[in-house]
Amino acid sequence: MNRTIPFFSVVIPCYNCEKIILPTLKSLNTQKFRDFEVVFVNDGSTDNTIDILNSFQFDGIKKVISQENLGLGAARNTGIRNSVGFYVSLLDHDDIWEPEKLLVIYKILNDGKYDLVCHNEAVLNNHGETLRINKYGPFKTFYELYFNYNCLSPSAVTISMTTFQKVGYFTEDESLWGVEDYDMWLRISLEKLKFKYVNQVLGSYIMHGSNMSKAYRLYASIEQLMINNISNLDTTKNSVNKMIKVKFRNYYFQKIKHAIIKFYGFEVLRIFLQLLRCLFPARYCVAHLCRMSTKP
């Protein structure tokens, strides 16, 4: 490629990942498509992560940026702000890509039709064994994404740089810890930007004890995100209110089940009281949730 500007900027936030990042680095060097830069953000690591990043041999543009520990959203934003590519490909420090990943995505994006592309991923255990295949999509609209689930994975997503100019960067709000990505997909959908799902496994997500998605803390973030976005729904329609009620009822059922397993006694009682409100008529349930969203 003869471009001065790389087609892709690969943004990799890193935190205390000295023991798990090497397969990720290897997958960068095996990419068949080479018109990309790599932007590492060392997010306040206290191990030898920075030494590994600095010694990583890469035949293209490599940037290593260090900052205090500000969290995943802030680390991604630092990487994006220091990127110059036309598209940003996100990659977490413990995930890996297939060699044809960027080549396949390039062929899809080269004509400029899409703002976001997401492919499928294999889910692996610590031994490299495939546990399942995560097939992302097909949801694209705000209502679909809100009422179903987070059907995109950051390490499987590539986003146009112009998208960030339209919707802003990843949230750095601590109340949305762990769902910074879901918040971004919802905001992109509100702008009616174009999603493309690729029905092909082009990367792998590694399951291990430090995965953020295993933390009970994530429930509070999901709840806050759902509440924050009620204002983007047409609550003048009873059918929408019923859908909101069902969504929160199902959420509280899952949360209380998890709390019981964890033996969180007081938390079980608190969730149960929230669940009771979801048994009221839909308009009362939604009114209560809206009041929660306006609390300082």
**161 and 283 fall within a common domain:** no
**145 and 277 fall within a common domain:** no
**167 and 239 fall within a common domain:** no
Residue 223 forms part of a structural domain: no
Residue 219 forms part of a structural domain: no
pLDDT in tens, 7-19: 999 999 999 999 9
The domain total for the chain is: 2
3-state secondary structure the chain: CCCCCCCEEEEEEECCCCCCCHHHHHHHHCCCCCCEEEEEEEECCCCCHHHHHHHCCCCCCEEEEEECCCCHHHHHHHHHHCCCCCEEEECCCCCEECCCHHHHHHHHHCCCCCCEEEEEEEEECCCCCEEEEECCCCCCCHHHHHHCCCCCCHHHEEEEHHHHHHHCCCCCCHHHCCCHHHHHHHHHHHCCCCEEEEEEEEEEEECCCCCHHHCCCHHHHHHHHHHHCHHHCCCCCHHHHHHHHHHHHHHHHHHHHHHHHCCCHHHHHHHHHHHHHCCCCHHHHHHHHHHHHCCC
**202 and 254 fall within a common domain:** no
Residue 66 forms part of a structural domain: yes
* Range name among 123-132, 163-172, 257-266 with the lowest pLDDT average: 257-266
Q: What is the CATH number of the domain that holds 35?
A: 3.90.550.10
**65 and 97 fall within a common domain:** yes
**84 and 138 fall within a common domain:** yes
**33 and 174 fall within a common domain:** yes
**40 and 125 fall within a common domain:** yes
State the pTM of this model.
Answer: 0.90
pLDDT in tens, 138-174: 999 999 999 998 889 999 999 999 999 999 999 999 9
pLDDT beyond 70 at 185 = yes
